[in-house]
Chains A and B, each alone.
Chain A
Amino acid sequence: MNIFRLAGDMTHLASVLVLLLKIHTIKSCAGVSLKTQELYAIVFATRYLDIFTSFYSIYNTLMKLIFLGSSFSIVWYMRYHKTVRRTYDREQDTFRHWFLVLPCLLLALLIHEKFTFLEVLWTFSLYLEAVAILPQLVLLQRTRNIDNLTGQYVFLLGGYRGFYILNWIYRYLTEPHFVHWITWIAGLVQTLLYADFFYYYFQSWKNNKKLQLPA
């Protein structure tokens, strides 16, 4: 564990907690993409199957359980909670997220380190996580006026990605065999998807204005 990975994990945790808090306390999921949340639930469910097969640390297991629990809770709130579900922007959140799942699965079947069930699913989760934010970014662009919490959620998620890149550079320099092309390229693609959002986020922050994305 290094400081960059810890900072990345903490911003990731904060992003999820901000979103859960928003949904739980103000009973609204306006501006939140259910498609993205479902994709994250799939990402965690396929990546963390190894809690049954390998143990790394209490920290690792605990965080996995938190991410699994929170992502499925958010999906549950948005789909089934009687107040929250009515605030969901169903008409705007039209991204065909299943069209992301299939190509990622095919890619994982073609490009992986080992052809085993767990390894292919783990690789699939990396590819899917890279593109899972797309429905959320499209929804933000469509609704344009973004409340602070939704903006902070995406900002914190982007921060998590940035710290993970620093973590990989650090590990590459300090651990002799740390070379993981699949993880790095998927992670880099994911981080680049946030670049446009970050540009407008900082513009609005600099001008002390409410975040607005161009149509």
Chain B
Amino acid sequence: VARDDVKDEL
């Protein structure tokens, strides 16, 4: 399940 962790990328 995808979390919001990718949002810390630019």
Contact = CB atoms under 8 A, between A and B. Distances in A.
Contacts of B2: 113, 177, 179-181
Contact of B7 (A9, A12, A54): A54
A122 B10 CA distance: 11
Contacts of B6: 178, 180, 183
Interface string B1-10: 1110111111
Contacts of A56: 7-8
Interface residues of A, number: 22
29 contacts: A5-B9, A9-B10, A12-B10, A50-B7, A54-B7, A56-B7, A56-B8, A57-B8, A60-B8, A60-B10, A63-B10, A64-B10, A67-B10, A113-B2, A122-B7, A164-B9, A167-B9, A175-B5, A177-B1, A177-B2, A177-B3, A177-B5, A178-B6, A179-B2, A180-B2, A180-B6, A181-B2, A183-B6, A183-B9
